[in-house]
Amino acid sequence: MKYTGRIVITIVVLALIALARIYGNVYYDYPMSKLPLIGILAVLICWWLGSQYDKVKFYSEKDLLTEIHNRRFVIQKFPGLLAKTGRRNENMILFLIDVDNFKKINDTYGHETGDKVLQSISRILLSNTTNKDIVARWAGDEFLIVSPYSDEKIREVIIHKVKNALKKLSEEINMDVSVAIGTSVYPNDAKTLDALLHTADRRMYEMKSQ
């Protein structure tokens, strides 16, 4: 969770307190060395208010279970990312990822184990992508990676790394955890989020059927 709200509001309050003390010293001979009790209380209150803002912002952009980005964040950020990718005349790759037999995992091992599997997959996706990529929980047991400025080589590297990491996870927890991954490329396959998702979804289910 970022500290943006807390930092900004605290800096503003500290600046106002400093100005008030200087003004009081210049015009009313208020001693600069006197402990500003009211100011300290104001800073603490504002830090708390800032923390509440940071929490609201965090949970408006993040999935509660996995703490990766949520669908809302992707929908908000995608138009700007699409425009920037287009201006740079680059490709952008979408990875739509669906957990194989997730219902069976829930039915066999319980929903708590299912949740842990989703959390583990989220960590794997994060650790095998870069800071420029957006990793999100799209819906249920579906995940999405938006990878701007990517090419065919990067796509294959990401898929290879994710599948290898899932094999290791399966061995560690003694449970078969695998995914189907469908991809689409902007602008070759489509030029809107819905169309790119449709293409990736179709390719993902083609993979499942194989």
* DSSP letters spanning 35-79: --HHHHHHHHHHHHHHHHHHHHHHHHHB-TTT-SB-HHHHHHHHH
Buried b (16+ CB within 10 A) or exposed e, 71-102: eebbeeebeebbeebeeeeebbbbbbbbbeeb
Cα torsion angle, 2, 80, 73, 50, sign: positive
For residue 177, the tally of other CB atoms under 10 A from its CB is: 22
Burial class, 9, CB count within 10 angstroms (exposed 0-12 / middle 13-18 / buried 19+): buried
Nearest to 12 by CA among 52, 43, 48: 43
Element housing 158 (H / E): helix 152-173
Among 63, 141, 176, 189, which one carries the catalytic annotation?
141
Q: Could you identify the residue written with the tokens 């994060």?
A: 126
The 3-state DSSP class for residue 86 equals helix
Residue 192: which residues within 8 A CB-CB, separation 6 or more? Answer: none
Q: Is 141 a catalytic residue?
A: yes
Q: Which residues are catalytic?
A: 141
